[in-house]
Structure 1
Amino acid sequence: MKTVTNEIMIDAPPAAVYSVCTDVERWPEIIPTVLAMQREDVGENELIMTMHVSNDFGTHTSRSHRRYSPSSYRIDSQMLTLPPQIGSMSGTWTVQARGRGSLLTISHSIEAPATLDGSAREASTAQLAATLSSHTELVLSSIKTWVERRAKQGGAGR
């Protein structure tokens, strides 16, 4: 298992940043690799997200179980279905106030499939982590652009 952490400063309050992170139905407008999104609420601040994407892992559909903690601006997720080259993945998104802006941090734990053994699995996991880091940078920059543009227009996050 390898952990990848990416972060970005966003010139907007934490509530505005968190709002975009939890408004998953809007992600196809915000994140260029997200083609379509469906949301199924399964409890208070809890959902199953089905995301159709085209990225460095190919064009595929992934499902994840997301739990929101609005009071601490935190999101925890566990991937339920993944592209075939990924064995498991989970993550945490946090938004923290930093001066007049916010720090958005995304941490993922990722591992290659168990069908690979020893050094092959380690090498595959390392490559997956590098690809995931690059993709997460795109997600972060897309969210930053969206939130900051909305803040300048007077509609932060929406």
Structure 2
Amino acid sequence: MSVQQVHRTSYSVDVNAPPGVVYGLLADTTRWPLFFPSVIHVERLDFDGSQDRFHIWVTANGTVRSWLSRRTLDAPGLRIDFRQEVPAAPVVSMGGSWIVEPRGTGRSRLVLLHDFAVAGDRPADVEWTKEATDTNSRAQLATLKEAAERWTRLDGLMLSFEDSVRVNGPAELVYQFLYGAADWPERIPHVARATVTEDEPGVQLLSMDTVTADGSAHTTESVRVCFPHAGRIVYKQTATPALMAAHTGEWSLIPDERGVTAVSQHSVLLREEAVERVLGPGADLAAARRYVREALGRNSTATLGLARRHAETAVRTL
């Protein structure tokens, strides 16, 4: 029986931010989709402060992969060790460490280590895994550095909010409407075009042209992960409008004895340097937050209202 070769990679970046800030950004996996370009969604399964278990969906070399991971967090040592419990093929083992090294007052070095093995050690699969690891690791370090170095302003750059509507109809029909994004151009006035690819059940790639209130159109691309039995669809825009550095969201359905509450939730990381370019000279973060809140809220509330009409009309017709 041949022994698979263990491949190792090492990356590092200097960060002008305190070690505790850098470690804190790494420790909270639920916010990774806002900071890491390749991370689509993290579904936390167990967390007790030092042991963390989660299901993660990422883009790798243009494809969407998912796996179960566990982490051991060592806050005093500024170190997080990770290991994939169920790796995505062709990988058979993958793990590593995040290490934050203090570098004097208010400065740090962030080191990211990986070790991995590939089934049969096939050269093409090894090369594919190295390329995905290299691309994603470099991007993660760069965006984490950028977020950490803005730590004093980060709260102002991030916003989360939700809107909801009550539906006197079955959750299944509301979910069907939200899941069927390919039909949105015929169903939703502000959607001019939508194409959906679903090569793997429950994982959708959505490209969409949306018309804003002033009549201008913009194109967004998203990865959507669908949980039909839980009545949830989570998504991340992989191509965002200029004002947003990152945008994630979730459609969720909360049934009760009288019907269902349909909820749209958004989380956004603003692109600070684009505020005046998009909103005009003198515009500040407060104006950007209002603009994004109103624009996203208007569209998602309209979509929820149309989903409600779809569900309630179908029930009356029956």
TM class by shorter-chain length?
0.7 to 0.9
> Cα RMSD (Å) of the superposition?
2.0
TM-score for the superposition, normalised by structure 1: 0.85
Q: Is the CA contact (8 Å cut-off) linking 1:3 and 1:129 kept in structure 2?
A: no
Deviation (angstroms), 1:56? 1.5
- The C-alpha deviation readout for 1:19-72, integer Å capped at 9, x for no partner, is 000111001111121111111235440010211112227202121110001110
Partner of 1:80: 85
The residue identity in structure 2 corresponding to 1:24 is T
5+ residue gaps, structure 1, are none
Partner of 2:98: 93
Q: Is the CA contact (8 Å cut-off) linking 2:61 and 2:131 kept in structure 1?
A: no
Partner of 1:129: 130
Of structures 1 and 2, the larger Rg is shown by: 2
- Written as runs of structure 1 = structure 2, the 5 A alignment for 1:1-158 is 1-56=6-61, 58-100=63-105, 101-113=107-119, 116=120, 121=122, 124-151=125-152, 153=153
Q: Is the CA contact (8 Å cut-off) linking 1:110 and 1:125 kept in structure 2?
A: no
Q: Distance in 1 between matches of 2:55 and 2:96?
A: 16
Which structure exhibits the higher relative contact order, with contacts defined as CA atoms closer than 8 Å and separated by 6 or more residues? 1
Identity %: 23
- The 4+ residue runs of structure 1 with deviation greater than 4 A are none
Aligned length: 150
- The C-alpha deviation readout for 1:66-94, integer Å capped at 9, x for no partner, is 00011100001110122212121011110
Q: Distance in 2 between matches of 1:70 and 1:128?
A: 30
5+ residue gaps, structure 2, are 1-5, 159-318
Provide closer, same or farther for how the CA distance between residues 42 and 132 of structure 1 changes in structure 2, counting only shifts above 3 A: same
TM-score for the superposition, normalised by structure 2: 0.44
Q: Distance in 2 between matches of 1:80 and 1:58?
A: 20
